[in-house]
Amino acid sequence: MSDQIKYVLDEENIPKSWYNLNADFPTPMPPVLHPGTHQPVGPSDLEPLFPMELILQEVATERYIEIPEPVRDVFRMWRPAPLIRARRLEQALGTPAKIYFKYEGVSPAGSHKPNTAVPQAWYNKQAGIKKLSTETGAGQWGSSLAFAGSLFGLEVLVFQVRVSYDQKPYRRALMETYGARCIASPSNETDCGRAILEKTPNSPGSLGIAISEAVEVAAKNPDIKYALGSVLNHVMLHQTIIGQEAIAQCEMAGDDPDVIIGCAGGGSNFAGLAFPFLGLQLRGGRKRRIIAVEPAACPTLTRGTYAYDFGDTAHLTPLVKMHTLGSTFMPPGFHAGGLRYHGMSGMVSHAYELGLIEARAYQQVGCFEAGVQFARTEGIVPAPESTHAVRCAIDEALRCKEEGKSETILFNLSGHGHFDMQAYINYFEGKLVDQDYDEADLATALAGLPAVAA
C-alpha cells in the first residue's frame, strides 16, 4: 500500500481523517456571503444553525481533518464499504472495459448519507444540542439522520418533500422506526410552509422549500440546530471516506480507474468518491476523467448558471456561489427525489468551473433501464438516484467497446432501491415518462437570482 493510503487508513482500512480538497484547489473558492450585507459570513453568522466544530470544518483549509474515534467506531458497523468488480455486467455488455463500483448501500439506512449524518449528530451532541431539524427528498437523508440521532440520543425532526412523502411511505416508516418525527413539506408548521400552501395548496414541495422549513425551525429555537445532507463543504468533507477507501481498494485490486462517475444532486456522493482522486491529480498525479451525472429534468451543472444564490426557496440561507437553476425553480416530480435540487455544492461547482470535472444529464427512463440491467447482472437494485451513475458507467463501457479500449471505470453506487420499488413498478408498467423542465419557469427563476456585485 502506498504511503498516501497508509497515512489515511487504519489497520482495519477505515479512514483516520477526512480529505479536504480546499487544500489543493489551484484557486480558492469564492466566499459564502451574508444574505443581507453581501459580505463574507463569519463563524458567528452560522452559529444559530450549526455547532462550532462543523462551522470550522466548513471554512477549513487544512488537507486532513481527523475523524473522532466515537464516529469511527460507528463507521465500523458497515465500513469499509466494498469495492466490487461488475464482471457479469461487463460480460453482458461485451465490453473490454473493467467496471468497478463502490457500494454505499451497505450502510444501515441504505446509502452514503450516514457517512455525514453520524459525524453531524456527534458534533451536535458534543455541543449539548438535544434536537436537530432537517429536510429530506427521497428519504435517504432523513432516515440517515434519524439513525444517527438514535445512536446519540438526539431528537430528529424531518421535513420530507410532499411528493416523496406520498410516494415512499416505507421511508417515512423507517424514519419513525429510528425515532424521528416526519412532516410532509410544505407544511403548516412554519411561516414559509404556510405561505407556500396559501399560494399553491397542492404544491408537490421541493428540497428548496423543505430546507426553508427546517432552517426556520432551527433559527427560531435556540435548542434546535439544523443539519443538511449535502451541498455544504463539511458534508463533502465527510463523504471523502468513500474515495479514500476506494483508492486503497483499487490499489489492492491492482487497478487504477481512468473514468470516475457519480450521480449528483447536491454533489456529496460524487464529491466523496471523486475528490480524493482529484487531490492526487492536483498534487502531481495523473489526470482521470471525472463525470458528475444529473437528471435532465433538474440539470444544475449542465444548464444552470454559476452565480451567488440562496440554498432554499424562502431565502433564509447565506448566499453560496454555485451552479444553480434559481432558488424558486420547481423541478418536475420525477422519481430520483434526491436529485431534485436547484443548486449544487459550491466545491463541486468550483471544480467544474476550473475544468477539473465533466457533467452529463440523463432522462429517467434510460436510467431505470440501466438500473434493471444492473440488477439482473450484479444482483443489487440501485436507488433511482444511483441509476444515473449506472447509466453513465454503462455508456462509458459501451464507448470503450466501440473504440476497442480496455479502460477502467469506477462508479459510486450511492444506495440501494429497496424502498423505491414503486418507481420500478411504474417503470415496468410503462408509466414512467421522461420529463422536461419548464423553460419559462427556469428563465423566471434565473431572472430572480440575487444581484451580487462582482
Ligand X SMILES: Cc1ncc(COP(=O)(O)O)c(C=O)c1O
- Interaction site with ligand X (CB under 6 A): 111, 137-138, 140-141, 230, 263-270, 338-339, 383, 385-386, 414-415
For residue 273, the minimal CB distance to ligand X (Å) is 10
Residue whose C-alpha cell reads 411561516 in the numeric block: 191
The span from the CA of 123 to the CA of 126, in Å, is 5
Closest distance to ligand X from the beta carbon of 2 (Å)? 27
- Least distance from ligand X to the Cβ atom of residue 382, Å: 8
Whole-number minimum distance, CB 104 to ligand X, in Å? 8
- CB 42, min distance to ligand X, A: 26
The residue sitting closest to ligand X, measured at its beta carbon, is 338
Measured from the Cβ of residue 404, the count of other Cβ atoms closer than 10 Å reads 7
DSSP letter (8 states) at residue 412: E
What residue spans of 240-380 are helical by DSSP H?
A: 241-253, 268-282, 300-303, 346-353, 364-378
- The least distance separating ligand X from the CB of residue 315, rounded to whole angstroms, comes to 22
State which residue, 5 or 264, has the beta carbon closest to ligand X: 264
Question: Of the two residues 385 and 407, which places its CB atom closer to ligand X in the complex?
Answer: 385
Question: What is the radius of gyration, based on Cα positions, of the chain?
Answer: 20
* 138 or 357: CB nearest ligand X: 138
Give the 3-state secondary structure of residue 224.
strand
Query: How far is the C-alpha of 212 from the C-alpha of 192, rounded, in Å?
Result: 7
Least spacing, CB of residue 261 vs ligand X, in Å: 12
CB of 402 to ligand X, least distance (A): 29
∠ CA(161), CA(162), CA(166), 5° rounding?
120
- Indicate the residue among 346 and 407 with the shorter CB distance to ligand X: 346
As measured in angstroms, the least distance from the Cβ of 239 to ligand X is 7
- Cβ distance to ligand X smaller for residue 156 or 400: 156
Nearer to ligand X, 97 or 232 (CB): 232
Cα angle, residue 261 at apex, residues 343 and 174 outer, rounded to 5°: 65
In the numeric block, the cell 481527523 is attached to 66
Pick the closest to residue 311 from 439, 440, 450, 117 (CA basis). 450
Which among 331, 332, 336 is positioned nearest to 420, based on CA atoms? Answer: 336
Indicate the residue among 18 and 95 with the shorter CB distance to ligand X.
Answer: 18
Q: Parallel, antiparallel, or unpaired: how do β-strands 319-324 and 305-310 relate?
A: antiparallel
Of 230 and 317, nearer to ligand X (C-beta) is 230
User: Residue 49 and residue 67: Cα distance in Å, rounded?
Assistant: 22
* Closer residue to ligand X, CB minimum distance, 20 or 414: 414
How far apart are the C-alpha atoms of 296 and 437, rounded to whole Å? 8
| Non-local CB neighbours of 405 within 8 Å, separated by 6+ positions | 96, 97, 399
- Would you tell me the crossing angle of helices 364-378 and 421-428 to the nearest 10 degrees? 110
* Pairing relationship of beta strands 83-85 and 98-103 according to DSSP bridges: antiparallel
